[in-house]
């Protein structure tokens, strides 16, 4: 494992989830700032998505979802999109 890979693994290890890599996506608009952290564990073929939203009025929402049966952590895996959709629906539902 090279140094960059170890740093990525350590980053998700802090979240209690050993992973080969971490991918972070950030989006901003006038309504909210949204960040999605994604990690994948090839040994268990599971991934974890963590959604963090800070709404324009200062309210925060943080939620995690475990994505199972992932043969790979590839970006184009439809399970990632399904997990993100579930997280966004939950955030909007709780926002009211």
pLDDT digits (tens, 9 = 90+) for 25-55: 888 888 889 998 888 888 888 888 899 999 9
Q: What is the DSSP letter of 9?
A: H
Phi and psi of 73, rounded to 5°?
-95, 20
Q: Provide the β-strand partners of residue 49.
A: 38, 65
CA distance 49 to 9: 15
Q: pTM of the prediction?
A: 0.69
Measure the N-to-C terminal CA separation of the chain; round to a whole number of Å: 45
Give the pLDDT confidence of 64-73 residue by residue, as tens digits.
Answer: 888 887 777 7
């Amino acid at each position: 494992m090279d140094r960059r890979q170890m740093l990525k693994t350590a980053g998700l290890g802090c979240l209690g989830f050993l992973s080969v890599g971490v991918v972070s996506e950030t989006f901003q608009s006038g309504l909210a700032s949204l960040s999605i952290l994604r990690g994948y564990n090839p040994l268990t073929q599971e991934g974890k998505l963590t959604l963090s939203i800070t709404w324009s009025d200062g309210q925060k929402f943080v939620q995690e979802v475990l994505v199972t049966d992932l043969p790979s952590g590839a970006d184009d895996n439809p399970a990632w999109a399904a997990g993100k959709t579930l997280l966004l629906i939950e955030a909007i539902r709780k926002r009211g």
